[in-house]
Chain A
Amino acid sequence: MKAILALSDGTVFEGEQFGATGETVGEVVFNTSMTGYQEVLTDPSYKGQIITMTYPLIGNYGCNEADIESIGPQVEGFVVREYSAYYSNWRSKWSLDAYLAEHSVIGIQGIDTRALTRRLRVHGVMNGCLSTEDLNPESLVAKAKAWHGLVGWDLVQRVTCPNPYAWQHEENNDIHSKYRVVALDFGIKYNILRQLTKHGCEVQVVPAKTTAEEILAAEPDGVFLSNGPGDPMPVGYAIETIQGLMGNKPLFGICLGHQLLGLALGGKTFKLKFGHRGANQPVKHFETDRVEITSQNHGFCVDIDSLPNSVDITHINLNDDTLEGIQHREYPIFSVQYHPEASPGPHDASYLFSRFTEMMDGENGR
């Protein structure tokens, strides 16, 4: 079946549908990871976005139960150069087509994804409309233009858990939990929870609107600020919560959690032209002077110059010198813009989870 992706600048790509049928709008972004499409699809941070993978062959190893990062696919649409109908891997359970169809995600294949990526790089990310129903290019462009876009939209509400829950270990049931951690769910990835568990944390996941008082009442050893989708600015309630926690509990933030922390500290955020989405972003860690190859997925960024003197810059992106990590000088608080939990991507930065537990040790011992 024919499918069309139209961009708000009037560019139209015609291709073949796979996965679900229908129509969707979202911000069109590209991800440069060569592996890990299932993790990308199920990462709640992509809510509101239509993703194109720059690697041209997608679907090769199918989909499985181990590579899921949330309850299911989160993306608004999926754009690839060539979808592989045949999948081959000992772990695979479903074809990507079946997986997307079941979760009502529209896929389009057979388009020049490099041309699309170049357009997004040069002109910045833009809104798009992907449809298998309306095949009129003008009408689709109009729909893309009419869409409100991500800025100022609180997408966290679309992905956070409705009620608190205790994270169940999927494996390693014998891990002895030493720390009690509350994770504020702005769209948390399972692999963060797996990593926390692996590092000895018993994790209580709470909805994004949980207040500081409610969290402190639970007397956790530390609070984790999760990743999540979209613009941090409209998530004011979370900023308030973080401000209420600062200085009271060790805090560790990733991605959106890092941005919200930045705002809570009085900093500002801005939207990147085309974001960082991929598994090869070099990040310099000033403390060790080493470079970590990191997994990233963000369209917004904390402005380095806006940060107060109370924080140190710990990590920086070598590609464009943007902020990647901070640490508070007084309080046990640190955060990174990138994804140390990987999945997909390199495991170079998994030490950060140990840093969090060390911080909790420090606090407990005090």
Chain B
Amino acid sequence: MPKRTDIDKILIIGSGAIIIGQACEFDYSGTQACKALKEEGYEITLVNSNPATIMTDPDFADQTYIEPITADTVELVIDKERPQALLPTLGGQTALNVSVELAESGVLDKYGVELIGAKLPAIQKAEDRALFKEAMVKIGLEVPQSGIAHSAQEALDLVQEIGFPAIIRPAFTLGGTGGGIAYNIEEYEKMVVAGLALSPISELLIEESVIGWKEFELEVMRDGADNVVIICSIENVDPMGVHTGDSITVAPIQTLTDKEYQLMRNSAIKIIREIGVDTGGSNIQFAVDPKTGKQVIIEMNPRVSRSSALASKATGFPIAKIAAKLAVGYNLDEIPNDITAETPACFEPTIDYVVVKIPRWAFEKFQGTDETLTTQMKSVGEAMAIGRTFKEALQKGLRSLETGWFGLDNHPLDELPLSELPSKLSIPNVKRIFYIKAALARGMSIEEIHAYTHIDPFFLYNLKEIVDFEDTLSEPDARQHVSQHLQDPISQNGETDKILTKSLLQQAKRFGFSDRQLGDIYDVSEAVVREGRESLGIEATFKTVDTCAAEFEAETPYYYSTCSSEDEVRPSNKSKIMILGGGPNRIGQGIEFDYCCVHAALALKNDGYETIMVNSNPETVSTDYDTSDRLYFEPLTCEDVLNIYHKEKPSGVIVQFGGQTPLNLAIALKDAGVPIIGTSPEDIARSEDRKLFKAVLDEIGLMQAPNGTATSSEEAAPIAAALGYPVIVRPSYVLGGRAMQIVYDEELLHDYMHSAVQASPEHPVLIDKYLEEAIEVDVDAISDGNRTVIGGIMEHIEEAGIHSGDSDCVLPPYTLVDEQIENLKIFTYALAKALRVRGLMNVQYAIKNDEIYVLEVNPRASRTIPFVSKAIGVPLAKLAARVMAGKTLAELGFTREIEPAYFSVKAPVFPFNRFPGSNTRLGPEMKSTGEVMGIDTDFPRAFAKAQKACGYTLPQGGSVFISVRNKDKRAIIFIAKKLTDMGFELIATHGTAKVLLRNGMKSELVFSIGKGRPTIHDYIKNHAVDLIINTPTGDLHRTNELLIREMAITHDIPIFSTIPGAAAAVHAIDALQRGDITVTPLQDYFQMLQ
């Protein structure tokens, strides 16, 4: 069928802030959908609260609403835009849930909006456990048995049917706490009692355990003519029991025979038909009993997912783009396969390589939480690697993670006592793959490791091959020959050394060993290994991802490296620029940097350059083969980047857009002769090195907080004492405030110095006087080397001391006066000049007692670039890329600062509910996973929208709990007064209550925790409080405050822990009470700037 002509305007909903389980993959899918549908001539209305997305760039949709993704807000958009159709399947669970809400409440009917892709009954059937189970049984498929229990007796009845082991999952507990597996009735009874008590609604889900079974996924697509194809099959290395997002996964499936695979394929086709997803992609998960081959269905997502993004990158088949086209009426055989150009999209991609995806976690930021990997996802990012063997792909994947491993190496685990191995193997954890290596190295058999891990022996065997080959490389004979050759690679003598070295190194490369790993084995540097192997002609070759295993010629240059005999890349003679991406998402480095890389590619492509993207993150828009002219899906290590550089010989390489990842490579690349464009690596280093930077500041006469540098614990104590506590301590060269802390006394300092030295061994610890109660300001600027233009000045709402990524901020500033703003600008110009910035620069200032201090300068793209770009209507990253390539700001027409007449608020989103037991207090170490933006004509409304977009709906009435530290008692009076005027009831602890009473406000008294009942905990549990204002004393030993925070998070109650935050909230509530909240597309705001 050709495309539908009865609709011309389509609403697309994004997935909002980046959270665990819902990251850039939905920007990738949404961006593809917007592009595909615009290409077809449809008018697109988009709603997404995440400013760091490419899809919210104003040219990807006709009306771009950066508004909260809630049913009431989306209804406002529908009312205003009157789209005829809503595509609900491309914005993750968020978009799907809101769409369902709008459909169920009748809003879609009211406005005549049709759900396309998946209709309501199909979504319900897939999402509702009972309906899904019924549907599966109907088509003769099995699902693990399960049931809901509200009492111990019900639970006992259920387990009679389900049998042991049984999984117990209490409903709505933080991070799934209280759940577990019971192997016998005694354990079961205990867990049931505990679980019922923990669940706020006293509800348990009891499930048949398929833990240890093999886990598989199929990515399925269906069109309106009922053609169904499987795009990709995925096998999880970690078996059932570990969330697929936390599993190492492999594509395609490795250990099923064709008969088993076809059985699974047939089931998938039956499922998508029975569930009734009209068109588009679905992800279906299966568990297979390794002993009998029995297959059961775990779940189905009736939408594109993280796995479909992975599948798209793994196969070259753009699932979201095709899904969008199917949704408007095309059939699969009417859409061409972009990669081959000559064949249709109606086929099943076949791949001739192995894809390995490895998750990246951030447990170091959430200490105190249980690090066991379970059925709840905890990873914050992932890397994907492609190789021609599993071994090669796995080792490439491990080094892509950028967590200090360069493959399956062993240094972090050398000290592990043998007795701990069984538990490290049997309890899934972040480092399990390395424990397996340790076990293999100590001679544990594959069978024994399999018994502990349930990981398929096929994978364990491949790991063993790596371990065994490392032994071969380390044998004295091998060592001698290789060392001989490496010492004198161009020697005409030593033919034997050469021959032997060549065969060893070649095999090592086929197994995916990095030069760094080989250097470690032979006690030489990475560079020596490189030189030695290149002299033997062992170089990386590049192959194409082509969807068809070379059956047809590929039109799209999407490459990966491998050790082989043929290189398929034919570099062009065009002028080209290579952009280094940011690698796997982590806290502090995520979608914002990918956004900048994408912008660089788009802008430079437009200027006639051939753009080359290098990245290892499958979730991103940057790794869409459409984004740049050439895509290399490769780890961002020096070795891998140099391989590409030598192949392509670009005239410039951009390192300042991908966050810390490419910056860390800058000096090594430059030393290897790579032309880095933009601010020079040396100038970047000047901003990061404490001494050099101090010289820069002194030269231009700017102030820093008093500070010092320590290389040992002994050195640190006197420095801190001289500065006076509290101090801020941090290792140099980190992003996201990794290991950055406010330290209040010497004991804590001592503790810190031990962990910090681990955090970054090659660099000293920086100690700064903590500027208490200072206003923090972020400034983003762009410079062409002569002229500097400020992109945006963002005033933080919380005081300095909370990481800028974790603070709410406002653009333009809402309390700064003109003189301060003027000074900030002058200082920024001076810094840009002193650091010879070409490109972007971010400066963080603190203003205390009307003095401006420089906190830090980062001459590179910052996390706030997308936010600022959206707030001022200027694509800063694009301009910066063009500046780096040689344009001046005057040529680009950006010479004047823009001060919008509306307010933009950025607010962070935290993953605390995934990490029960961890410290939820905010500080200098960044913990948020994502952010949202609220825009409106005044600050309170913009703030209210940002809060709402974070998932905190500010109450418009009810009870407020107030408990503030002594120094905030004065400031709280007006806030409390305003709240009572607006009709709120107050609840307070003793001290605060007394102050309030003296100022004419009555409050309900609660006890401080441990001093009597009821406490605020009881109120929270009884849903008797709607807003919490609780400013912490800064004393780490006061755990009560933390408990309140944690409970507020569990129960989704908005909590403000600073006076400025509380004040902003009160203004916002006031605005909400006045009503008339409206929605406005970005395009209209930008009109106002003209």
Q: Do A and B bind?
A: yes
Q: Which chain A residues have a beta carbon within 8 Å of chain B's beta carbons?
A: 13, 30, 32-36, 38-39, 54-57, 60-61, 64, 66-67, 81-82, 84-91, 111-115, 117-118, 121, 274, 278-282, 284, 289-291, 293, 318-319, 342-347
Residue B332 at the A interface, CB < 8 A? yes
B:241-287 near A, CB below 8 Å: 252-262, 265-266
Determine the distance from Cα of A274 to Cα of B553 in the docked complex, in whole angstroms. Answer: 13
Chain A residues in 8 Å Cβ range of B552: 121, 319
Chain B residue total in the interface (Cβ 8 A): 56
Asked if residues B256 and A35 are in contact (CB atoms below 8 Å), the reply is yes
Asked if residues B255 and A82 are in contact (CB atoms below 8 Å), the reply is no
11 residue pairs bridging A and B, Cβ less than 8 Å apart: A30-B550, A32-B350, A38-B257, A66-B259, A67-B258, A84-B458, A113-B352, A121-B553, A290-B226, A343-B258, A346-B262
Q: Per a CB cutoff under 8 Å, which of A115, A117, A291 touches B333? A: A291
Residue B388 at the A interface, CB < 8 A? yes
Known: A290-B227, A291-B332, A318-B333. A347 touches B255 (CB 8 A): no
Which of B121-129, B340-348, B529-537, B791-799 interfaces with chain A?
B340-348
B:416-433 near A, CB below 8 Å: none
Chain B residues in 8 Å Cβ range of A81: 388-389
Asked if residues A56 and B388 are in contact (CB atoms below 8 Å), the reply is yes
Determine the distance from Cα of A89 to Cα of B235 in the docked complex, in whole angstroms. Answer: 14
Asked if residues A55 and B257 are in contact (CB atoms below 8 Å), the reply is no
Closest A residue to B343 using CB positions: A319
Asked if residues B262 and A345 are in contact (CB atoms below 8 Å), the reply is yes
Determine the distance from Cα of A290 to Cα of B352 in the docked complex, in whole angstroms. Answer: 27
Chain B residues in 8 Å Cβ range of A34: 233, 252-253, 350-351
Known: A32-B548, A114-B564, A293-B229. A57 touches B349 (CB 8 A): no
Determine the distance from Cα of A46 to Cα of B389 in the docked complex, in whole angstroms. Answer: 26
Which of B288-296, B850-858, B1002-1010 interfaces with chain A?
B288-296
Q: Per a CB cutoff under 8 Å, which of A57, A111, A114 touches B354? A: A57
Asked if residues B461 and A84 are in contact (CB atoms below 8 Å), the reply is yes
Asked if residues B348 and A57 are in contact (CB atoms below 8 Å), the reply is no
The 9 closest A-B pairs by CB, nearest first: A36-B258, A86-B461, A115-B566, A344-B258, A54-B549, A88-B458, A35-B258, A280-B348, A112-B565
Q: Per a CB cutoff under 8 Å, which of A89, A282, A347 touches B256? A: A89
Known: A32-B551, A34-B350, A343-B259. A60 touches B254 (CB 8 A): yes
Determine the distance from Cα of A54 to Cα of B543 in the docked complex, in whole angstroms. Answer: 13
Chain A residues in 8 Å Cβ range of B265: 346-347
Asked if residues B551 and A82 are in contact (CB atoms below 8 Å), the reply is no
Chain B residues in 8 Å Cβ range of A67: 257-259
Known: A33-B258, A36-B258, A114-B566. A121 touches B458 (CB 8 A): no
Closest B residue to A117 using CB positions: B550
Determine the distance from Cα of A55 to Cα of B233 in the docked complex, in whole angstroms. Answer: 13
Asked if residues A291 and B227 are in contact (CB atoms below 8 Å), the reply is yes
Determine the distance from Cα of A351 to Cα of B548 in the docked complex, in whole angstroms. Answer: 26
B:314-351 near A, CB below 8 Å: 332-333, 342-344, 346-351
Chain A residues in 8 Å Cβ range of B262: 342, 344-347
Q: Which chain B residues have a beta carbon within 8 Å of chain A's beta carbons?
A: 225-227, 229, 233, 252-262, 265-266, 290-293, 332-333, 342-344, 346-354, 388-390, 446, 456-458, 461-462, 543, 548-553, 564-566, 568
Asked if residues B389 and A82 are in contact (CB atoms below 8 Å), the reply is yes
Chain A residues in 8 Å Cβ range of B388: 56, 81-82, 114
Known: A64-B257, A118-B550. A57 touches B564 (CB 8 A): no
> What 18 additional pairs, Cβ within 8 angstroms, besides A117-B549, A291-B225?
A32-B350, A56-B353, A57-B389, A60-B255, A86-B462, A87-B458, A88-B255, A114-B564, A115-B564, A115-B566, A118-B550, A278-B551, A280-B347, A282-B344, A284-B333, A319-B552, A345-B258, A346-B265
Chain B residues in 8 Å Cβ range of A55: 252, 350-352, 549
Q: Per a CB cutoff under 8 Å, which of A35, A117, A278 touches B261? A: A35
Chain B residues in 8 Å Cβ range of A278: 350, 549, 551
Chain A residues in 8 Å Cβ range of B266: 347
Chain A residues in 8 Å Cβ range of B342: 319
Closest A residue to B333 using CB positions: A291
Asked if residues B550 and A86 are in contact (CB atoms below 8 Å), the reply is no
Chain A residues in 8 Å Cβ range of B390: 57
Chain B residues in 8 Å Cβ range of A33: 258, 350
Q: How far is the CB of B273 from chain A (nearest CB, A)?
A: 12
Chain A residues in 8 Å Cβ range of B564: 112, 114-115
Asked if residues A39 and B566 are in contact (CB atoms below 8 Å), the reply is no
Chain B residues in 8 Å Cβ range of A347: 262, 265-266
Chain A residues in 8 Å Cβ range of B260: 89
Q: How far is the CB of B365 from chain A (nearest CB, A)?
A: 37
Q: How far is the CB of A344 from chain B (nearest CB, A)?
A: 4
Q: How far is the CB of B483 from chain A (nearest CB, A)?
A: 26
Question: Which one of B258, B458, B564 has the highest number of Cβ atoms from chain A below 10 Å of its Cβ?
Answer: B258
Chain B residues in 8 Å Cβ range of A289: 225
Determine the distance from Cα of A54 to Cα of B354 in the docked complex, in whole angstroms. Answer: 11
Q: How far is the CB of A44 from chain B (nearest CB, A)?
A: 17
Q: Per a CB cutoff under 8 Å, which of A32, A60, A82, A88 touches B549? A: A32
Chain A residues in 8 Å Cβ range of B351: 34, 55
Determine the distance from Cα of A277 to Cα of B194 in the docked complex, in whole angstroms. Answer: 58
Known: A57-B390, A112-B565, A114-B543. A281 touches B347 (CB 8 A): yes
Chain B residues in 8 Å Cβ range of A91: 257, 293
Determine the distance from Cα of A81 to Cα of B389 in the docked complex, in whole angstroms. Answer: 8
Q: Per a CB cutoff under 8 Å, which of B227, B253, B344, B354 touches A56? A: B354
Determine the distance from Cα of A90 to Cα of B550 in the docked complex, in whole angstroms. Answer: 32
Chain A residues in 8 Å Cβ range of B291: 90
Determine the distance from Cα of A112 to Cα of B563 in the docked complex, in whole angstroms. Answer: 9
Asked if residues B255 and A291 are in contact (CB atoms below 8 Å), the reply is no
Determine the distance from Cα of A318 to Cα of B347 in the docked complex, in whole angstroms. Answer: 9
Q: Per a CB cutoff under 8 Å, which of A56, A121, A318 touches B346? A: A318
Chain B residues in 8 Å Cβ range of A89: 255-257, 260
Q: How far is the CB of B281 from chain A (nearest CB, A)?
A: 16
Chain A residues in 8 Å Cβ range of B548: 32, 280
Determine the distance from Cα of A230 to Cα of B176 in the docked complex, in whole angstroms. Answer: 61
Q: How far is the CB of A262 from chain B (nearest CB, A)?
A: 24
Question: Which one of A34, A66, A117, A121 has the highest number of Cβ atoms from chain B below 10 Å of its Cβ?
Answer: A34
Q: Per a CB cutoff under 8 Å, which of B293, B353, B566 touches A90? A: B293
Determine the distance from Cα of A56 to Cα of B256 in the docked complex, in whole angstroms. Answer: 15
Q: How far is the CB of B1 from chain A (nearest CB, A)?
A: 10
Asked if residues A318 and B226 are in contact (CB atoms below 8 Å), the reply is no
Determine the distance from Cα of A111 to Cα of B343 in the docked complex, in whole angstroms. Answer: 28
Chain B residues in 8 Å Cβ range of A290: 225-227
Determine the distance from Cα of A344 to Cα of B253 in the docked complex, in whole angstroms. Answer: 15
Chain A residues in 8 Å Cβ range of B225: 289-291
Q: How far is the CB of A68 from chain B (nearest CB, A)?
A: 11
Determine the distance from Cα of A347 to Cα of B270 in the docked complex, in whole angstroms. Answer: 12
Chain B residues in 8 Å Cβ range of A57: 254, 354, 389-390
Closest A residue to B227 using CB positions: A291
Chain B residues in 8 Å Cβ range of A115: 564-566
Chain B residues in 8 Å Cβ range of A64: 257
Q: How far is the CB of A203 from chain B (nearest CB, A)?
A: 21
Asked if residues B458 and A86 are in contact (CB atoms below 8 Å), the reply is yes
Chain A residues in 8 Å Cβ range of B290: 90
Determine the distance from Cα of A56 to Cα of B565 in the docked complex, in whole angstroms. Answer: 14
Chain B residues in 8 Å Cβ range of A345: 258, 262
Closest A residue to B262 using CB positions: A347
Determine the distance from Cα of A111 to Cα of B710 in the docked complex, in whole angstroms. Answer: 55
Q: How far is the CB of B538 from chain A (nearest CB, A)?
A: 14
Asked if residues A117 and B350 are in contact (CB atoms below 8 Å), the reply is no
Determine the distance from Cα of A346 to Cα of B264 in the docked complex, in whole angstroms. Answer: 10
Asked if residues B333 and A282 are in contact (CB atoms below 8 Å), the reply is yes
Q: How far is the CB of B35 from chain A (nearest CB, A)?
A: 25
Closest A residue to B257 using CB positions: A61
Determine the distance from Cα of A284 to Cα of B351 in the docked complex, in whole angstroms. Answer: 23
Determine the distance from Cα of A49 to Cα of B68 in the docked complex, in whole angstroms. Answer: 62
Asked if residues A114 and B550 are in contact (CB atoms below 8 Å), the reply is yes
Q: Per a CB cutoff under 8 Å, which of A36, A56, A293 touches B352? A: A56
